[in-house]
Amino acid sequence: MKLGSLLLAFFLPLLTTMAQVPPLPGPGINFGNMLEAPKEGEWGVTLKESYFETVAKAGFRTVRLPIRWSAHALEKPPYTIDPSFLARVDRAVTAAKAQNLTLILDLHNYDELNTQPDAHAPRFLALWKQIAEHYKDEPPSILFELCNEPCKALDAGRWNILVAGTLAVIRPSNPDRTIVVGPVQWNSLEKLPALVLPENDTHLLVTVHHYDPFHFTHQGASWVQGSDAWMGTRWTGSDADKAPIDAAFDKLAAWSQAAGRPVFVGEFGAYSKSAMEDRSLWTDYIARALEARHIPSAYWEFCSGFGLYDPKSETWREPLLKAVRGN
């Protein structure tokens, strides 16, 4: 066999796997602190349908929509999702399609699943069966994300079993839909080797999140214990600052090629307590480093504590917007 044929025989399975997942258009952004709050508006942000037009006009092509489905469903079988909440999400889907946006419906903040995975697995499966059947006729631009940042008691062994079971629930109604799935430990890059996916499912997009260095990106964050002590942490774009980022994304790209799975950085961002100059430098370097490796991403997030957009003045924070877009 000639060298060219040998190479083709080696790489064709990888190319075939990746070819089943349409490229995720960028740039992307998260509509955070909206539908994943215990009740919409409780975290200071309400989802406006006009926001989809706002981000589309600014050049965004993908929106990741975190949703706390678990707060809007019965706690006992058959775990029915509140029809009024489904209608609420439907309006977001319609608004995204009107702007030709790719929309990721992300199951977010199911806290009980992380702490009591065995007890809540049946409810999780029931939620996804309902979601899948409800949106089965939507176009390929609507993606499903199984679970944001599995962690705590939801370890790799349990998560791999649950992923396989959830795909088995979704695929009868959505055989070709792109489904986003990530590793445990809060979608950690370091846990990618522990993620086991069904080999015959070629419509999967693997996600990780990137908030390193954490003491910089989360300084002063009220939900992170001890973060006030990190106030004043700088990120100046030195070689020492850049090296860990390049190493991490090189590792991510290498895993993608070896596994034959496309990857997506579903969250990256720096909280507002850090200096705007540093936030913008860091954001720009993350975005360009991912672009250079052809890895799509979505910034966390639109208009709250990490936000690119000021909802009160209805204006973009230009340094951050330029950093994400590259202009």
Set out the domains of the chain in order of their start, with CATH numbers: 25-325 (3.20.20.80)
Amino acid at 92: A
Q: Which residues pair with 62 in a beta bridge?
A: 28, 102
Q: Is the pLDDT of residue 52 over 50?
A: yes
Q: Give the pLDDT of residue 227.
A: 97
% of residues, the chain, pLDDT over 70: 94
Q: Give the largest CA-CA distance in the chain.
A: 66
Of 9-13, 131-135, 231-235, 242-246, which range is least confident?
9-13
Cis peptide leading into 301, omega within 30 of 0? yes
In which element (H, E) is residue 267 found?
strand 263-268
Amino acid at 274: S
Task: Provide the residue count of the chain.
Answer: 327
Confidence class for position 18, pLDDT limits 50, 70, 90:
low
CA 299 vs. chain centroid, Å, equals: 9
**What's the Rg (C-alpha) of the chain?**
20
Place of tokens 């942490």: 233
% of residues, the chain, pLDDT over 90: 93
Q: Give the pLDDT of residue 1.
A: 39
Q: Give the pLDDT of residue 20.
A: 86
Place of tokens 């977010």: 108
Contacts of 215-220 spanning 24+ positions with Cβ under 8 A: 216/270, 216/274, 216/278, 216/282, 217/269, 217/270, 217/271, 217/274, 217/282, 218/271, 219/271, 219/273, 219/274, 220/271, 220/273, 220/274
Q: Give the pLDDT of residue 112.
A: 98
Average pLDDT over residues 257-262: 96
The two tokens of residue 19 are: 């070819």
Q: Give the pLDDT of residue 305.
A: 96
Q: Which of 294, 267, 295, 260 is nearest to 283 (CA)?
A: 267
Q: Give the pLDDT of residue 19.
A: 52
Task: Give the burial class of 238: count Cβ atoms within 10 A of its Cβ; 0-12 exposed, 13-18 middle, 19 or more buried.
Answer: exposed
DSSP 66-117: EE-GGGGB-SSTT-PBPHHHHHHHHHHHHHHHHTT-EEEEEE---HHHHHSH
Strand, helix or coil at 303?
A: coil
Q: Is the pLDDT of residue 175 over 90?
A: yes
Q: Which of 185, 127, 189 is nearest to 158 (CA)?
A: 185
Q: Is the pLDDT of residue 17 over 90?
A: no
What is the average pLDDT score of the chain? 94
pLDDT tens readout for residues 97-151: 999 999 999 999 999 999 999 999 999 999 999 999 999 999 999 999 999 999 9
CA atoms within 13 A on the CB side of 171: 12
For 10, other C-beta atoms within 10 Å of its C-beta total 9
